[in-house]
Amino acid sequence: MGAVLSAYAVPQVLLRIPIGIWSDRLGRRKHLVAAGIIFTSLGALGLGLSTTPGLLFLSRMVTGIGAAAWVVFPLYFSAYYPAHDSGKAIGLINSVASMALIAATAGGGFIAEGFGLSRPFFLAALLGVLALLALTSTKESPMSRTLTPSRRSSLHVATRPLLLMISMMAILLHFAVFTGVFGFLPIYAAGIGASDSELGLITMINLGFSALGALMAARIWERLGYRVTIILSAVLIGASLLATPFIKATPLLMAVQTSCGMGNGVLMTLFMVLSIRGLPRQQQATAMGVYQAIYAIGMLTGPLASGFLGSGAGLSTVFYLAAFLVMLIAVLALLPIFSRRTIEN
């Protein structure tokens, strides 16, 4: 099971940087968006047809290849907006993605219960076909070729101090979220008596407030500034993770997910925006690829490392570690690089 789950993150670590560089050099995004949808749909179809762990592993890896194309999705979408509204555009598409996860979490469970475990995967493959049809109706915004990407320029983009710092903070965030929220929170909730429907509701509340946070993110950092927004968001997530081992009632655990989801939605959107801050469109996919490839390390290592920790030291230590890592993000936000003057220059 662990190998099948990790198969999703491996292609994202390996492929997101090459996809970003390739997209910038070609000057186009639409074909890579289409490729991502195709691979995701094929992976979903494979999961529905798989009869052995090996086939599940391969199919899950194919969906990871498709997910690696998320590098270009927000950039393709934000190109429809003026440059000064790119933050709002990325917040909007992140919010839509979170709402889609809510629908999938709720609908997939009912479909599997009523029609069999393979049916949600077949539906997912069908939705991919519909997504491709929707994509054909869109027109790609032309990209200026005044700047021709090269190996040297790609290396310069990939080593920008702000990008590397944001990526490192995103590793901590994804390690904590994929460990504490999506990995071990359902196990803990079941241990205090949560029913199957309540487990789904806990996840849906987190995702719902994550969608709300992504939608409001631009307004929040425009009012409070980048540093304060990072600190407050990290504290919201960290406090909820730290409180989790002390909660013994399912309704209270649900309530805590509101702050955790809100902070996560704001922080993930802000990090994505800062990763391409100040770059021309011809270099944004390279920066986004570096950012997403690095944070995927947290997705890959978080559940695995925490599984060993939880087995040896108890489930509570998993949440303490996740809380510590998120609080470390708040400390790193105090660095001079996150002053408004430094970022805007």
pLDDT score recorded for residue 170: 94
Q: Domains along the chain?
A: 2-135+150-332 (1.20.1250.20)
List pLDDT tens digits, range 84-136. Answer: 888 889 999 989 998 998 888 778 878 887 888 899 999 999 999 999 999 99
How far is the C-alpha of 118 from the C-alpha of 49, rounded, in Å?
A: 7
List pLDDT tens digits, range 241-263. Answer: 999 999 999 999 999 999 999 99
Residues 343, 271: contact at Cβ < 8 Å? no
Q: Which of 60-64, 162-166, 304-308 has the lowest mean pLDDT?
A: 304-308
pLDDT score recorded for residue 156: 83
Give me the mean pLDDT over the 150-170 stretch.
86
Q: Which of 100-114, 145-159, 221-235 holds the top average pLDDT?
A: 221-235
Q: What is the 3-state secondary structure (H, E, C) of the chain?
A: CHHHHHCCCHHHHHHHHHHHHHHHHHCCCHHHHHHHHHHHHHHHHHHHHCCCHHHHHHHHHHHHHHHHHHHCHHHHHHCCCCHHHHHHHHHHHHHHHHHHHHHHHHHHHHHHHHHCCCHHHHHHHHHHHHHHHHHHCCCCCCCCCCCCCCHHHHHHHHCCHHHHHHHHHHHHHHHHHHHHHCCCHHHHHHHCCCCHHHHHHHHHHHHHHHHHHHHHHHHHHHHHCHHHHHHHHHHHHHHHHHHHHHCCCHHHHHHHHHHHHHHHHHHHHHHHHHHCCCCCHHHHHHHHHHHHHHHHHHHHHHHHHHHHHHHHHCHHHHHHHHHHHHHHHHHHCCCHHHCHHHHHC
Mean pLDDT of the chain: 87
